[in-house]
Structure formats: structure tokens, C-alpha cells
Amino acid sequence: MILDKENTFFDKKALSADTLTSDIVSVGPGESDCPLRLVARVSSDAGSGTLTTKLETAKDAAFSSPVTLATFTAVPLSAAVPRGNLGYLRLSATSTYTKGTVTAALVLDDDIAW
């Protein structure tokens, strides 16, 4: 699996028991017949906790009218990006972890053992 900086939401972002908002990824509006996959994992030193990840889309980078595409509770996460993309994507993640890091990105294929 290849992580591309332009398709990365969180790159080893420090976890805290709080809500984290990711970088914005511009993918352009529309759908593909081969959807991208959203992958996310926490570092091995994170200990125990939960991570609820909300994938949001909007027509503008300011996210003036965000639309939630999906909510995930699995960690590690590997899921197809649902239809409904408006051009820009971001993640909002609610964490109960108090240490460690999170990495999340869009990929063409996944290997959950990364």
C-alpha cells in the first residue's frame, strides 16, 4: 500500500482524548467505478481506546456546508469511500486514546497489516 501525501488526512498526528480534525484532501467532484479506500490506524504505543472517524465532504475547501458520507468505529480501518463526494474530503475523529499517533489516508489498494 502506498500512502500519498496529497491523499493523507492524518500523518502520525498525536492522539488525545478529544476531537481531531484532519487536513483537507481535494479529490475533485464525482465518483469512480473503482472507489478509493479509506485506511486508518493508530500506533502500537497508543494503548487501548476508541476512535470514531467521520468522513465528510463539501463543495468548498472552507467546508461551509459539510455532508457526512460515513462514520466508522473500527481501528484499524479499511473501507471503500462511499458515493456522494462533492470535491473535498476531511475526517473528524473522536478519540479516547491519551497517547500514540494516528495515520489516515486514501489509497488505491489496502494492506491492513501496515
Over residues 47-74, the mean pLDDT reads 96
Residue with cell 468522513: 55
The answer to whether the CB of 39 falls within 8 A of the CB of 1 is: yes
Angle at 79 between CA 76 and CA 82, to 5 degrees: 145
Over residues 73-82, the mean pLDDT reads 93
pLDDT band at 75 (very low <50, low <70, confident <90, very high): very high
pLDDT of residue 65: 97
pLDDT of residue 111: 65
pLDDT of residue 108: 84
Check whether the bond before 82 is cis (ω within 30° of 0). Answer: no
Alpha helices in 46-100 (DSSP H): none
Q: What is the pTM of this model?
A: 0.90
**Exposure string (b/e) for 36-68, b if CB count within 10 Å is 16 or more?**
bbbbbbbeeebeeeebebbbbbbeeeebeebee
pLDDT of residue 62: 97
The answer to whether the CB of 66 falls within 8 A of the CB of 56 is: yes
Q: Report all structural domains of the chain as residue ranges with CATH numbers, in order of start.
A: 5-107 (2.60.120.1110)
pLDDT in tens, 13-59: 999 999 999 999 999 887 777 778 999 999 999 999 999 999 999 99
Over residues 81-93, the mean pLDDT reads 95
